[in-house]
Amino acid sequence: MQTTKGVVIAAKGRMEVRDDCPLPDEPCPTGAFIRPLIWSPCTSDAHLCATGCEALPYLLGKAVGHEMCGEIVRVGSDVHDFKVGDRVIVDAVMPVWRSLEAQDGNAKNRSDNMYWGVDYPDRGGSFVETYYIRDADMNLARIPEGVTLDQAIMIPDMMCTAFEGVSQAGIGYGESVAIIGVGPVGLMALAASVLRGAGRVAVVGSRKICFDRARQLGATEVYDYHEEGYLERMLADNGKPFDAVIVCGGSENSIDEGLRILKNGGTLVNMSAYFGDKMIAIDPADWGFGYGDKTIKGVGCGGGRLLMERMAALIANGRVDPSILITQRFHGMDSVPEAMDLFLEHDRDMIKPVIYND
Span near its own copies by CB under 8 A; candidates 168-176, 207-215, 327-335, 339-347: 168-176
Nearest distance, CB of residue 40 and its own copies, angstroms: 19
Binders of its own copies among 127-166, rule CB under 8 A? Answer: 135, 137-138, 163
Calpha distance 108→91 (Å, rounded)? 11
Burial class for 311, CB neighbours closer than 10 Å (0-12, 13-18, 19+) = buried
First-to-last C-alpha distance (Å) of the chain? 26
Tell the smallest beta-carbon distance from residue 228 to its own copies (Å): 22
Q: Cβ closer to its own copies: 126 or 176?
A: 176
Beta bridge partners of 71: 35, 87
Binding flag, residue 284, its own copies (CB under 8 A): yes
Name which position in 32, 53, 68, 311 contacts its own copies (CB under 8 A). 311
Contact between 297 and its own copies by CB under 8 A: the answer reads yes
Query: DSSP labels for 326-353?
Result: EEEEEESGGGHHHHHHHHHTT-TT-SEE
* Residues 21-80, interacting with its own copies (CB under 8 A): none
* Residue 220, amino acid: T
Residue 106 binds to its own copies (criterion: CB under 8 A): yes
Contact residue for its own copies among 22, 61, 298, 337 (CB under 8 A): 298
Task: Write the interaction track for its own copies spanning residues 325-354; mark x where CB under 8 A is met and - where it is not.
Answer: ------------------------------
Nearest to 180 by CA among 123, 256, 67: 256
Single-letter amino acid code for the residue at 191? A
Binding segment toward its own copies, per CB under 8 A, in 16-24, 206-214, 286-294, 341-349? 286-294
Task: Check if the beta carbon of residue 316 is closer than 8 Å to that of residue 145.
Answer: yes
SS3 235: helix
Residue from 274, 330, 341, 347 binding its own copies (CB under 8 A): 274
Pick the closer one to its own copies by CB: 43 or 295. 295
Q: Of the ranges 10-18, 82-90, 260-268, 350-358, which one interacts with its own copies (CB under 8 A)? A: 260-268
Residue from the set 92, 182, 307, 333 that interacts with its own copies by CB under 8 A: 307
Contact flag: residue 300 with its own copies (CB under 8 A):
yes
Residue from 58, 77, 317, 338 binding its own copies (CB under 8 A): 317
Per DSSP bridges, beta strands 352-356 and 326-331 are parallel
The set of residues, in sequence order, having a beta carbon less than 8 Å from that of 89 and lying 6+ positions away, is 69, 140, 141, 142, 143, 152, 153, 155, 156, 308, 312
Does position 305 bind its own copies by CB under 8 A? yes
Nearest of 137, 126, 171, 161 to residue 322 by alpha carbon = 161
User: Does position 236 bind its own copies by CB under 8 A?
Assistant: no
